[in-house]
Structure 1
């Protein structure tokens, strides 16, 4: 029966032998005509490698020939020697086309017809491709449509040039067949295929996205016969990819309250899923602990505007980057980067303009990198959070040939908005953490004074986790008659309020200590004072004070120590022989409750004895109770000698073996011989 072939001529088309190969090259489909041509029934060939059908005797040669001749091309046509089941050689004309399975893995449809019955202009895949779920159109060398399949026929109302007999429009316009006519002419002229070019069609209410392919169709003598367009609708696939990327952003961005870590998480997420190269550059106010940018001089690359906080690339060593992490980023005043910073609006350049006369003339170094790396499409998005502009995020494609689209801009802005909130949270936390830490360090004693009665040493480590600086404190107070008071305490809570409350408690305790009050009475007065103050300040911004505290007074004349506890952990005592014990005074109520239940305990504290006062951050672990922590502290202190500074370091190293979950405070005091 006469059939319209791929070139639009009538001919008696032979039935092709069709096979389907999976992504490993194994035969997973086998037609009746294939069995008749090569002598293999389906049951005998299914699951076997497709290379077994090649004529070459050596298996390695067969594989090499197949890959060298066809490889992973999306479409291939040519003469191939196949092996009949009885060993005879069959010269065939073979066409091979790649398809994507629902699971995303590639597969290949291969059709062959004996060369003895093949006539030039016959498409052995036409019956199969006519009903394929892809758009296919073929234009001849005059760029007149000579064949289209059923999917393309359904789109003729939108693309009249798909109709058989219609020529391509001379210039780009409404009738473009998903790709510019100039691009089709280029493929016909030079034979270089265009693969996986993203094209969009339709209005904002029903836009569709296609992955388009263009390749030149050639005769057996390599003479060009025309150009074939293949387009696969990937609208829903792209939408799913974007939703998946946004879901990943909600999990992978903002995992910590660290500004630079958060910025890096955004670039790591974007590359390679959305960009080939991405940066996050932040304004001076967002980056903690850096030199002010206004103090830096301008250079030939422009003025310092940002600091680099995030950086990622598909290329090893990030050759696109002009500035590494943490360094100032210089940009010309008229660049898109400064325009985004000034306007607060995104900048979108689907096809980057690198021609003379644009802003790159003022930034030749960046222009050279853009040309060398093949940067061709660009999105710059401002990072807005709670009314503040924190910086910019830049997304660039180099190796990925698809240009950015308006949909991509919307996705980039959504990613930037989510990252900006996390960056602002990290910025505010860092600012408060630094202020709390600075306040606490100012309120803690800068120098411990033990006179000629005690050797002293201390360590304070702020928490590393998200709660921030706490209210730990320690102190030594010189009293009349050469006596010395030792203090350690812990205010509940974290942040500036806890640090401020700690400072108030330390000042009040010093005042009461100078009155010469014994330890139990001093703690009772302190508790009463702050309970009354909390009643007077109800409704204020400051939280009510609740603190544990240990107050000890050493009398060098009597070689005795008196201490009282307000709900605090007992001190460790190391005798001159190295033995460790814990003095546990009667349990007292914490400061701020107003109960005033405190009692003192007195014990001998001879020459060469050592006392360790500490907060719970030193001994607490999630997997241990306090008793186990005190046992470990006793082991760290046992038999120790030498200067107390070194002992402080060794105890901290032994006790704090991972990220501190609370502030760590340690105060060591060793009695000296009378001078």
Structure 2
């Protein structure tokens, strides 16, 4: 069997080569017993193996060791030193021993001791000088040159001759900068001069093209002094190590680290694409374009795309581009525009295959790219683009687009290492873009859900003129649970509501929808503001209990365990011009009366909803006609917007100043408030509700005190009909007469005095409200009378002939009301 030049020797051949008997090898176990003894050990001490193995190793020592001088052998991995041993013939030998602490083949710890027999010969003489000469001349790893004290070359090995493409005979007597006519040669010679003056080794790194190459290599230069036996510096040894691969590997790692820091700073697809382009240029390419598939936000996964783009030409959206040339003149497509790529072109082929590819300009995929585009072909010729690389932007099985890299200033074409680096950068950026895409899609859905839960159109009513704004939080925070509402109440009154659910995300939006529905339901039964908040607090407490006690957190890990919210509820009466308010941990409103200043309403602060155990207090304020009332969530005034320097107090102060400044419309006022107080992407949701109060004229309201006697019903009907004549509403006489008769009769028969009748004519929606108040607390209920019942049909007729009816409680009794349209 023949062995090839590159083949490995068999173990027996290797033993013959190295001469195992030239080294004494002894193994000693942890108890100090000799367990191994080779022929070299027998040559050294004269003992055959059968006389030594199994006996204490201490018997081989010429003198016993001193305990205080012994090193901590059990903790050592290796030991070396001089040992005095006794030969079999009685002689004492002083020998250098190297001992390794290892685990033997039997799994037990042992000491493996070796001693080179050739080391006992005389020191090396001039017979070893050929080895030194051969090693200097033939060393393949290090280019070496020797210079005298005048920095003139004396010797150069073969590696140095290859590096500079000159023979040693061509360089003898020359200086470094005469051999290498580059700035790097001058810097190397300056370092060598410092070696001669200081006697210290100098290290330098420089870039220099190798002979016959245009690409610069990274060289590590070590300049060390050459000393004679007396220590005097007699010359300089210059060694040069080609560190190009290591240098570019470090550069690639640095670029990847830089990409991790710079790419994905925002949850914006277009911004992330531009960050990728900025990282690639100029370190990897001279020009890069990033194109995305259209409507990429609508692509949920790879299966939805059916494995790749459809056949034929493709239109891609130019998301980003960058160039080493200012103004990016290589680009033929503007940012945000669609670029059409022909079938068979490099970008299309990359999207089809899903693999990155390097192209030279003669490749068919590149000729197809420029064949039908004269502008692109002209740019290729103008800038001298010599190589192109296309990289697909793929993440989680979804292809988002393609990046096209080009070189014209770099003299080297793209290499395999460049392709791997580009794929790594593209992969990192694509994951960030896919995260941004998914986040944007989910956020849009959450915002759509939240907006669908907010009032789509504020209702028309006679009490106030209103304008509102809702602004979702910035991209990093996500939508929250802020809401507002305008709820028409009986008696021409109106309820104004603003609330804020703790947290962000779709669960906060869903909770907001539940609370808004609950508020509208409680408002329909005409509860006072403090009573309404008490019921709402109970509801929030139950929602928290449901989440904690159920499995909501197991099924939805991002769902908070507790539900918390704040709320401000206000009821304004345009007849009395009074406003009743109560708040649950919410910022107090700001009011501006005509001709006055903007002031914060002095309103008792109740606990946030869900805390429980503490009562809510109601306050009343008089609001003249034309007063401004602003309700808002804390995202408008808390730190984070332009008011961040002074905190919430500063934000409220600025809000008061803006409300006091007149604007032609409430919508213009809302827009100015948001512009002045908030950045373009607020850190928290913002809800703003601004109302300008109206007042019903005294001529629109008629009130009578009714005696608690059955005969008073007829007079009440006459008074009501007379008022309808005064209002020119004779067509409503029949229904009004029936409603007044039924409600007054019920109050006299079933309730307690005092009884009062009130008619309200609302001109804004052409309706008439009839109210009967009494001192009782029992509310009537609608029921269907049987055929033989004498009564019980009046309230049913009222419900059928009017638009709506209801009951509201007050501190002194109750009021039954019915509203009828006048345009019927």
Q: Does TM, scored on the shorter chain, surpass 0.5? A: yes
Shift of 1:628: 2.7
- The 2-side partners of 1:567 and 1:529 are apart by 16
- Could you tell me how far 1:598 is from its partner in structure 2? 2.1
TM-score relative to the length of structure 2: 0.53
Q: Following superposition of structure 1 onto structure 2, how do residues 377-388 of structure 1 map, counting pairs within 5 Å?
A: 377-388=387-398
Structure 2 match to 1:187: none
* Deviation (angstroms), 1:378: 2.1
Counterpart check, 1:461 vs 2:461: no
Corresponding residue of 1:196: 215
Supply the RMSD in Å over aligned alpha carbons.
Answer: 3.7
For each residue in 1:96-118, what CA deviation from the matched residue of structure 2 results, as whole angstroms up to 9, or x when unmatched? Answer: 711438xxxx85979xxxxxxxx
Matched, 1:353 2:362: yes
Structure 2 residues without counterparts, runs of 5 or longer: 1-148, 153-163, 166-176, 191-205, 221-239, 300-304, 698-824
* Alignment counterpart, residue 98 of structure 1, candidates 178, 182, 185: 182
Partner of 1:449: 459
Cα 1:593/1:394, change in 2 over 3 Å: farther
Size of the alignment, in residue pairs?
Answer: 474
Q: CA deviation at 1:666?
A: 1.6
Contact 2:264/2:429 (8 A) holds in 1: yes
Q: Which runs of 5+ in 1 are unaligned?
A: 1-29, 34-73, 76-92, 111-131, 138-178, 180-193, 199-207, 211-229
What is the rounded CA distance, in whole Å, between the counterparts of 2:543 and 2:471 in structure 1? 30
Q: SS of the counterpart of 2:631?
A: strand
Partner residue, 1:486: 496
- Equivalent pair of 1:574/1:581 in contact (CA under 8 Å): yes
- CA deviation map 1:358-394 (0-9, x unaligned): 6447644444443343222222222222232222222
- Pick one of 471, 482, 487 that aligns with 1:472: 482
Measure how far apart 1:410 and its partner are.
1.2
> By how many angstroms is 1:277 displaced?
0.7
Report the alpha carbon displacement of residue 243 of structure 1 after superposing the two structures with TM: 1.5
Larger radius of gyration: 2
Number of the residue aligned with 1:169:
none
How far apart are residue 353 of structure 1 and its match?
2.1
Partner of 1:558: 576
Alignment of 1:255-294 (within 5 A): 255-286=265-296
Q: Judging changes above 3 Å, is the alpha-carbon distance between structure 1 residues 134 and 354 closer, same or farther for their aligned structure 2 residues?
A: closer
Would you say the 8 A contact 2:208–2:216 is kept in 1?
A: no
Alignment pair present for 1:634 and 2:644 = no
Return the offset for 1:652: 2.6
Paired with 2:416 and 2:283, the residues of 1 have a C-alpha distance of 17
8 A Cα contact 2:482 2:633, kept in partner: yes
Q: Which residue of 2 aligns with 1:652?
A: 674
Alignment deviations for residues 30-70 of structure 1 (CA, whole Å, 9 cap, x no partner) = 9699xxxxxxxxxxxxxxxxxxxxxxxxxxxxxxxxxxxxx
User: 3-state DSSP class of the match of 2:181?
Assistant: strand
Find the partner of 1:620 among 638, 642, 645. 638
Secondary structure, counterpart of 1:195 in structure 2? coil
Question: Is the Cα–Cα contact under 8 Å of residues 340 and 381 in structure 1 kept in the other structure?
Answer: yes
Equivalent residue, structure 2, for 1:539 = 551
Contact 1:377 1:404 survives alignment (8 Å):
yes
Tell me how far apart the structure 2 counterparts of residues 280 and 305 of structure 1 sit (CA, whole Å): 13
Question: Using CA pairs below 8 Å that are at least 6 residues apart, which structure has the higher relative contact order?
Answer: 1
Counterpart pick for 1:512 among 512, 518, 522: 522
Q: Decide which of 301, 306, 312 is 2:322's aligned counterpart.
A: 312
- Residue in 2 that maps onto 1:605: 623
C-alpha separation in 1, matches of 2:514 and 2:365: 66
Task: Give 1:635 shift.
Answer: 2.4
Change (3 A) 1:283 1:247: same
TM alignment of 1:30-41, pairs within 5 A: none
1:416 aligns with one of 426, 434, 438: 426
Distance in 1 between the 2:518 and 2:216 partners? 74
Residue 439 of structure 2 is matched in structure 1 by 429
Structure 1 Cα separation of the partners of residues 207 and 405 of structure 2: 33
Mapping 1:331-350, distance limit 5 Å: 331-349=341-359
Among 668, 680, 684, the alignment partner of 1:662 is 684
Report the Cα distance in structure 2 between the residues aligned to 1:262 and 1:601, rounded to whole angstroms.
Answer: 52
Q: Tell me how far apart the structure 2 counterparts of residues 339 and 564 of structure 1 sit (CA, whole Å).
A: 66
**Closer, same or farther: CA 135–456 of 1 in aligned 2, 3 Å:** closer
Q: Write out aligned runs for 1:19-98 (5 A).
A: 97-98=181-182
Looking at structure 2, the residues matched to 329 and 32 of structure 1 have their Cα atoms a distance apart, in angstroms, of 62
1:514–1:494 CA distance, 2 compared to 1 (3 A): same
Give the secondary-structure state (helix, strand or coil) at the position aligned to 2:182: strand
Distance of 1:440 and 1:361 partners within structure 2? 48
Q: 1:345 and 1:322 mapped to 2: Cα distance?
A: 24
SS in 1 for 2:424: helix
Partner-residue secondary structure (3-state), 1:324: coil
Contact 2:500 2:566 in 1 (8 A): yes
Residue 248 of structure 2: aligned partner: 238
Q: Secondary structure at the match of 1:97?
A: coil
How far residue 610 of structure 1 moved from its aligned partner, in angstroms, is 1.5
1:55 alignment counterpart: none
Change (3 A) 1:135 1:637: closer
Q: Structure 2 CA distance, aligned partners of 1:504 and 1:481? A: 27
After TM superposition, give the deviation of residue 584 of structure 1 in Å: 3.7
Are 1:438 and 2:448 an aligned pair? yes
Deviation, 1:266, is 0.5
Per the TM alignment, residue 265 of structure 1 is displaced from its structure 2 partner at its CA by 0.3
Q: Whole-Å Cα distance in 2 between the matches of residues 523 and 285 of structure 1?
A: 46
Provide closer, same or farther for how the CA distance between residues 276 and 288 of structure 1 changes in structure 2, counting only shifts above 3 A. farther
**Native 8 Å contact 1:97 1:108 kept in 2:** no
Residue among 601, 605, 612 paired with 1:587? 605
Q: Tell me how far 1:275 sits from its aligned partner.
A: 0.4
Q: Which moved more, 1:500-509 or 1:396-405?
A: 500-509
Note if contact 1:276-1:399 (Cα within 8 Å) is conserved in structure 2: yes
CA distance 1:666–1:316, change in 2 (3 Å): same
Compared CA separation, residues 332 and 609, structure 1 to 2 (3 A): same
